[in-house]
A = this chain, B = another copy of it.
């Protein structure tokens, strides 16, 4: 998501970030069926029409890739080289998962609920369908959705057509796209994307901690205009309003601060009224750009659970959960030359 798209409360389709592990599957909606089975009393097979005829709800959710910020780490962990743009906020419409699980009748002794996608590929030498699990308790949260619409329109192929999981508050890897089946398991799920990938660890020898809920982050719309190659920003001298969004999957955002000296000093920003609980929140902050030359703008968010963004990231093997503060290099002043637009010459 280009960061100027932080201006939109709802990220337009085509600007929302995407992480697609394997290929986008081609799905025939007419032939589509979702299988719900495993450790349940009444296995279900649901067509898309069955799912769309169930009670529906719409929830605004900020999704962020667990690897957002990875490209800022040194040495850089080998995977998608995100800077800070792996985020988006959209309205997802679907039917609550909880009622589907209730209808299937989760049996005593159930441990995990496994979500299998139609997308298949090889990772770590293992040929696999993309699969992630949630504990039965997490899967039974009222906000967890089987979603078939985004921003009021049908899911496009890249967002999981015809059906995907939405787990508000969690990093993107848990929102399984192109759902093929839901399998209730009587023992902890040990699939590749659950037990091997998506762990915070600093060496291969560690078991590590699983990646789950989104850490707080604030991002700003980079002010001024960019240089094509360096992406350095040029800003006219004067007072500017810096704007952006902040979010956390762990607790409500309680504060945002701005720095124009690389994090040495901070000024408080203004948080707009909170909206839906799992959606990002707009903030603004005055910046007095009176001194010509280079400035490093930084922003950091804090949530009600006391989580604050660090100035420097602790390195980890997969480059996940990197919520170090955003840094935007801004030059107060002019480019070398100006080409007046043709309509003003």
Contacts and interface: CB of A to CB of B under 8 A. Distances in A.
Interface in A9-29: 12-16, 18, 20-24, 26
Contacts of A22: 225-226, 228
Contact of A234 (B15, B26, B122, B341): B122
A303 interface: no
Interface stretch (A139-147, A181-189, A250-258): A181-189
A126 to B, nearest CB: 5
Interface in A303-342: 334-339, 341-342
A7 B157 CA distance: 11
Given A15-B157, A156-B13, A343-B181, A126 B337 contact: yes
A4 B21 contact: no
Contact of A183 (B15, B156, B343): B343
A120 interface: yes
Given A2-B20, A14-B156, A337 B226 contact: no
A158 interface: yes
Contacts of A124: 228
Interface residues of A, number: 62
Interface stretch (A54-62, A127-135, A262-270): A127-135
A222 to B, nearest CB: 8
A136 interface: no
Contacts of A71: none
| This protein's copies in its complex | 2
Given A15-B156, A122-B335, A342-B38, A78 B129 contact: no
Contact of A7 (B26, B35, B192, B341): B26
A273 interface: no
A210 interface: no
Contacts of A78: 229
A180 B341 contact: yes
Contacts of A38: 342-343
B338 A127 contact: yes
Contacts of A180: 341, 343
A206 to B, nearest CB: 21
Nearest to A184: B342
Interface string A192-220: 10000000000000000000000000000
A114 interface: yes
9 contacts: A12-B157, A12-B158, A14-B14, A15-B157, A22-B228, A122-B228, A122-B234, A181-B342, A183-B342
Interface of A: 2, 4-5, 7-8, 12-16, 18, 20-24, 26, 35, 37-38, 78-79, 114, 116, 120-129, 131, 156-159, 180-181, 183, 185, 189, 191-192, 222, 225-229, 234, 334-339, 341-343
